[in-house]
Amino acid sequence: MGTFMIIFTLLGGVALSAQSSINGALSKRAGTFETAFLTFMTGAMFLTLIVLFFGEGNVLLVFEAPKWQLTSAILGVSFMFLTVLSVPKIGVAATNLTAISGQLLASMVIDHMGWFGNKVVLFDAERIIGIVLMFIALYLLFKGDKKTIQH
């Protein structure tokens, strides 16, 4: 199962990069807010069908969830909107690596603190080296972006 999850996650990353690039191009034509709206509207339609035919939970239990858990929807929309906004300006690779760097940094803090009911995973030398290398990669990517050709 672990290998399949790694492959599925890798494919999700490929899909996310393609989506970022396509959304960035669409936002130049249709607008940033409009592109974000279209993405979420289309996603909502597909997920409605998936929930109706394959759902195993109870969507009405959302109303019983602690209110802070509902912020995840706003955070997801914010992430996608900021991605649509960033891709046309800094490119897909820079946008995704910047987002991943932010995700890694935040996830390390969340793990270390055990926030949101997660297992506590303390900082160690390997994790710190990993985040430092990620930010070095981000620096090198942005430095290399100065050499890009505009079409």
* CB-side neighbour CA atoms (13 Å) of 95: 23
Per-residue pLDDT, 151: 54
- pLDDT tens-digit series, residues 64-74: 999 999 899 89
Quote the tokens at residue 43: 């996603």
What share of the chain in percent tops pLDDT 90?
48
**Nearest one of 44, 32, 134 to 80, comparing CA atoms:** 32
Positive or negative torsion for Cα 126, 122, 104, 15: positive
- pTM exceeding the 0.85 threshold for the entire prediction: no
Spell out the domain ranges in the chain: 2-145
Per-residue pLDDT, 143: 84
Largest CA distance in the chain: 52
